[in-house]
A and B are shown apart, each in its own frame.
Chain A
Amino acid sequence: MEARVDSTQITDAWWRAPAALAGYLFLLALVLGMAAPTTARAQAAKNSCLDCHSQLPPPLQVKPEEYNQSIHAEKGLTCVSCHGGDATKADMTAAMSAAAGFRGHVNRTGIPKLCASCHANATYMRGFDPSLPTDQYSKYLTSVHGHLLAKGDTNVAVCTDCHGVHDVRSPSDPRSSVYPLNVPGTCARCHANAETMKAYKIPTDQYASYTASVHYEDLVKNGDLSAPTCVTCHGAHGATPPGVSSVVNVCSTCHVFQAQLFDKSPHARAFLAAGLPGCVTCHSNHRILQPTDAFLGTGKGSVCVNCHAPGDPGYTAAAQIHSSLTALQASIDRSSAILARAGSSGMEVGPAELELSGARDDLTKARVGVHNFSAPAVEKETQAGMGVAQKTYQAGVAALAERDYRRKGLGISLGVIVLVVVSLWLLIRSIESRNSLEAKK
């Protein structure tokens, strides 16, 4: 359409201005010039593999659109890059001849090595993404998967089981099976399958447990992609369960404060001596629930009583820490409730609510502080918060007094209004009884 409009304009113009003719010729040359390289590129991209493999039935089928969206296609790699052979040859035998370096189907045992031929080559990879690590293969060799593969077990995960075969995508692509949101599901494909895991005698409830955890909630419900998935603790390529002594190190990559306090606490040595796995002892491993104050103390749901019996100092400390925290929480709730009540009556409680958030900070700090397991230290934190909560409670009381002042004002006004209404009514009666008397006369 546009071209036609252009050409008619130019045809009109050429009558009057020969310069337009020159312009037309230039345009023509440009179009022809652009067309030439396009044809050349089309020839270079011609891939004889797909002539057959897009038509063949599975497992020999390769969907071109599947491969075209992979990161490898994006970076200009072709079938030949992994499978060898010569895709420019139209003849099947020539294209897939040993002479052309055709490798064909890659065995599972050979996959890690094949991927590593590029991905472990720092010089080669630098040409694509200089910041991409090249240690995946060496890490894989140290992983449980790698060890078992070396022993000849071909059921374990190799590169393609997690990353895909022809449709390998960047981990930052939401469609990738190793995108943070998809990682748990990808691991669960094998690890939640009792049939597959039977031979290894390991549990299959990790995924179910993880999906109940606070980490999963943060990942999926809050959309926090930095929230830990399986690989954050176990490693991706070097996937191995962390040992008893290294659990604290794994957790402390994020929970720095808690780990520092724990290291200084009496539990650090005691747990190690008893062979207890640090953080996991109280918080469990995969099903890490949102910790509550009920974890502490001596009541139902407390993890302290798993080891501490009534009468020992730890039992007493647990009870003290628990009561410090719950007392502050109750105090905050009380202040919050009175402020909410005053606020809903239209009172200004903004500053008091702002101040109360300071008490919440103290509570959060005290909850972190419990990892020191020192009752006086926790008490010191909560006392600060108790002071703030008490002050804001007083502010709430004052606001309610203001509300009562309003109600008194309303009472007075209503009294006056009632007085006026009653005297009006009496006056009307008085006027009308006189009127009717007059009328009767």
Chain B
Amino acid sequence: MSPAGQVRDWLDERFGWDDLVAFIRHKTVPLHRYSYWYYLGGITLFLFTLQVVTGILLLLYYRPTPSDAFGSVQYIMTQVHFGWLIRSIHSWGANLMIFTAFAHMFSVAFFKAYRKPRELTWLSGIILLFLVLGFGFSGYLLPWNTLAFFATTVGTNLIGQVPLAGPWLLTFLRGGADVTGATLGRFFAFHVALLPGLATAFLLTHLLLVQRFGISVPPSLEPAWQAKPPAEREIRFFPNFMLRELMAWYLALGALGTLAALRPWGLGTKADPFASAPAGIRPEWYFMFMFETLKLIPARVGFMTGEALGVLVFGLAAVAWTLLPFLDRGGTGRKRRWAAGAVVFALGYVVGMTLYGYLVMAK
């Protein structure tokens, strides 16, 4: 027997390697004209892994103190061999990951894949999305440049508008009354310890649930799909789906490498807490739709401030969105169209407000 075969037997004896291989061989993915949307989750997973790897590499040189943070990122970008590449991939990858996560979520929402029995898959996915946004928000501050400093000041201020818990949350996030070195320390802890821990736990849950309940076929395609001959209904997960997924990963990596080499992520200027805020502070693009909405709400509405109202409305919308599988329990007719309408509205609103924000800024 070959050495490789011996290793395989050894593993098989210990935890049933052959069963595992057989299991993977039997796993299938539905095939229909929207199958390509199924790759988004995998791409997001790949990008997350890439973030973990590049993040760990960045940790080797990064220093989370107000005096050294900016300098150490500058050092990574200019002195360390290929430091520019690692950091640029981390920054571009983060943005791409958030984009694919959003796309994945909306594809699931359109295909109504959140319906019974996959409510918990949706729930764990939404939690992952919030965690990913938390990664973005906390990571943005870490280079300690002017724009990040003021964007964090504004962003945490908005969180401070949350009814009842706002002031407490504000102090908790900032580690004090203002954005200072204490905030940097906290955001660093959130970004490299707290959030990765939570994200890993929810990611495993999410994958386990996906595995448990399989991949759903959109209800609208179901009759046509059922009508197909059985051999054309599904493709095998391994190797057919996996090789395609691998192709997508390579393409994503190629795109990130190109962005990193041609448009290395900028550094800005070192944050000066005593300087006045620069013009045109704006959040990262994925918070833009909320930021723009809050700007459009009048300063006072009834008994509450416009910001508090906006934060409240967004909070309620987020809760409703999270509970989508429980609000839309399937059924037919008007009820079904209601859920689809809500998803279209949500997507339209997010895309529309984001574009509006950038067009207003561009003026």
A435 to B28, CA, bound (A): 14
Shortest beta-carbon distance, B113 to chain A, in Å? 25
Chain A residues with Cβ below 8 Å from B246 are: 424
Q: In this assembly, does A311 line the interface, its C-beta being within 8 Å of a C-beta of chain B?
A: no
A428 to B264, CA, bound (A): 34
Shortest beta-carbon distance, B40 to chain A, in Å? 18
Task: Kindly specify which of A15-23, A197-205, A342-350 makes contact with the partner chain.
Answer: A342-350
Shortest beta-carbon distance, A84 to chain B, in Å? 52
Q: In this assembly, does B88 line the interface, its C-beta being within 8 Å of a C-beta of chain A?
A: yes
Task: Kindly specify which of A68-76, A181-189, A413-421 makes contact with the partner chain.
Answer: A413-421
Binary per-residue interface labels of chain A (411-441) against chain B in the complex, 1 for a CB within 8 Å, 0 otherwise: 0011001101100110110011001000100
Q: In this assembly, does B177 line the interface, its C-beta being within 8 Å of a C-beta of chain A?
A: no
Q: Who on chain A is nearest to B84 by CB?
A: A346
Tell me whether B247 and A345 are in contact (CB under 8 A). Answer: no
Chain B residues with Cβ below 8 Å from A418 are: 254
A177 to B309, CA, bound (A): 48
Shortest beta-carbon distance, B264 to chain A, in Å? 3
Shortest beta-carbon distance, B180 to chain A, in Å? 27
Chain A residues with Cβ below 8 Å from B239 are: 428, 431
Shortest beta-carbon distance, B239 to chain A, in Å? 6
- From the candidates B240, B251, B254, B258, name the one contacting A432 in the complex (CB within 8 A): B240
Tell me whether B261 and A348 are in contact (CB under 8 A). Answer: no
Shortest beta-carbon distance, B90 to chain A, in Å? 14
Q: In this assembly, does A113 line the interface, its C-beta being within 8 Å of a C-beta of chain B?
A: no
Tell me whether B247 and A425 are in contact (CB under 8 A). Answer: yes
With contacts A346-B84, A424-B247, A427-B243 taken as known, whether A414 is within 8 angstroms of B254 at the C-beta atoms is yes
With contacts A346-B77, A350-B78 taken as known, whether A428 is within 8 angstroms of B257 at the C-beta atoms is no
Tell me whether B257 and A348 are in contact (CB under 8 A). Answer: no
Q: Who on chain B is nearest to A432 by CB?
A: B240
Q: In this assembly, does A407 line the interface, its C-beta being within 8 Å of a C-beta of chain B?
A: yes
Q: In this assembly, does B250 line the interface, its C-beta being within 8 Å of a C-beta of chain A?
A: yes
Chain B residues with Cβ below 8 Å from A413 are: 254, 257
Tell me whether B240 and A421 are in contact (CB under 8 A). Answer: no
Q: In this assembly, does A409 line the interface, its C-beta being within 8 Å of a C-beta of chain B?
A: yes
Chain B residues with Cβ below 8 Å from A407 are: 261-262
Tell me whether B251 and A421 are in contact (CB under 8 A). Answer: yes
A409 to B247, CA, bound (A): 21
Tell me whether B250 and A420 are in contact (CB under 8 A). Answer: yes
- From the candidates B85, B243, B253, B264, name the one contacting A345 in the complex (CB within 8 A): B264
Q: In this assembly, does B35 line the interface, its C-beta being within 8 Å of a C-beta of chain A?
A: no
Q: In this assembly, does B26 line the interface, its C-beta being within 8 Å of a C-beta of chain A?
A: no
A428 to B243, CA, bound (A): 7
With contacts A348-B78, A348-B79, A424-B246 taken as known, whether A410 is within 8 angstroms of B258 at the C-beta atoms is yes
Shortest beta-carbon distance, B77 to chain A, in Å? 6
Chain A residues with Cβ below 8 Å from B247 are: 421, 424-425, 428
Q: In this assembly, does A406 line the interface, its C-beta being within 8 Å of a C-beta of chain B?
A: yes
Tell me whether A414 and B257 are in contact (CB under 8 A). Answer: yes
Binary per-residue interface labels of chain A (333-353) against chain B in the complex, 1 for a CB within 8 Å, 0 otherwise: 000000000000111101000
A409 to B84, CA, bound (A): 13
Q: In this assembly, does B244 line the interface, its C-beta being within 8 Å of a C-beta of chain A?
A: yes
- From the candidates B84, B231, B240, name the one contacting A431 in the complex (CB within 8 A): B240
Q: Who on chain A is nearest to B251 by CB?
A: A421
A410 to B254, CA, bound (A): 9
Tell me whether B79 and A417 are in contact (CB under 8 A). Answer: no
A407 to B264, CA, bound (A): 12
Chain A residues with Cβ below 8 Å from B79 are: 348
Chain A residues with Cβ below 8 Å from B231 are: 439
Tell me whether A424 and B250 are in contact (CB under 8 A). Answer: yes
A346 to B73, CA, bound (A): 12
A202 to B14, CA, bound (A): 107
Tell me whether A410 and B243 are in contact (CB under 8 A). Answer: no
Shortest beta-carbon distance, A407 to chain B, in Å? 6
- From the candidates A346, A350, A414, A439, name the one contacting B258 in the complex (CB within 8 A): A414
Chain A residues with Cβ below 8 Å from B85 are: 406
Which interface residue of B239, B240, B254 has the most chain A CB atoms within 10 A?
B254
Chain A residues with Cβ below 8 Å from B257 are: 410, 413-414, 417
Q: Which of B224-282 contact A (CB under 8 A)?
A: 231, 239-240, 243-244, 246-247, 250-251, 253-254, 257-258, 261-262, 264
Chain B residues with Cβ below 8 Å from A410 are: 257-258, 261-262
Tell me whether B244 and A406 are in contact (CB under 8 A). Answer: no
Tell me whether B250 and A421 are in contact (CB under 8 A). Answer: yes
Q: Who on chain A is nearest to B254 by CB?
A: A417
Shortest beta-carbon distance, A303 to chain B, in Å? 38
Shortest beta-carbon distance, A52 to chain B, in Å? 49
Q: Who on chain B is nearest to A403 by CB?
A: B261
Shortest beta-carbon distance, B132 to chain A, in Å? 25
Chain A residues with Cβ below 8 Å from B254 are: 413-414, 417-418, 421
Chain B residues with Cβ below 8 Å from A421 are: 247, 250-251, 254
A22 to B40, CA, bound (A): 85
A425 to B264, CA, bound (A): 30
Q: Who on chain B is nearest to A409 by CB?
A: B261
Q: Who on chain B is nearest to A408 by CB?
A: B261
Q: Who on chain A is nearest to B267 by CB?
A: A346
A431 to B240, CA, bound (A): 8
Shortest beta-carbon distance, B142 to chain A, in Å? 18
A430 to B132, CA, bound (A): 38
Chain B residues with Cβ below 8 Å from A420 are: 250
Chain B residues with Cβ below 8 Å from A348 are: 77-79
Tell me whether B253 and A417 are in contact (CB under 8 A). Answer: yes
Chain B residues with Cβ below 8 Å from A417 are: 250-251, 253-254, 257
A421 to B247, CA, bound (A): 5
Which interface residue of A418, A425, A428 has the most chain B CB atoms within 10 A?
A428
Q: Who on chain B is nearest to A440 by CB?
A: B231
Chain A residues with Cβ below 8 Å from B251 are: 417, 421
Shortest beta-carbon distance, A299 to chain B, in Å? 37
A347 to B243, CA, bound (A): 37
Q: Which of B322-338 contact A (CB under 8 A)?
A: none
Q: Which of A367-411 contact B (CB under 8 A)?
A: 406-407, 409-410
A421 to B245, CA, bound (A): 10
With contacts A424-B243, A428-B243, A432-B240 taken as known, whether A346 is within 8 angstroms of B88 at the C-beta atoms is yes
Q: Which of A277-326 contact B (CB under 8 A)?
A: none
A301 to B323, CA, bound (A): 73
A347 to B84, CA, bound (A): 9
Which interface residue of A346, A420, A421, A425 has the most chain B CB atoms within 10 A?
A346
- From the candidates A346, A424, A427, name the one contacting B264 in the complex (CB within 8 A): A346
Q: Which residues of A contact B (CB under 8 A)?
A: 345-348, 350, 406-407, 409-410, 413-414, 417-418, 420-421, 424-425, 427-428, 431-432, 435, 439
A-B pairs with beta carbons under 8 Å apart, 7 shown: A346-B84, A347-B78, A414-B254, A417-B251, A421-B251, A425-B247, A428-B239
Closest 3 CB pairs of A and B: A346-B264, A348-B78, A410-B261
20 more A-B residue pairs beyond the given contacts A406-B84, A432-B240, A439-B231, with a C-beta to C-beta distance below 8 A: A346-B84, A346-B264, A348-B77, A348-B78, A406-B85, A406-B261, A407-B262, A414-B254, A414-B258, A417-B251, A417-B253, A417-B254, A420-B250, A424-B243, A424-B244, A424-B246, A424-B250, A425-B247, A428-B239, A428-B240
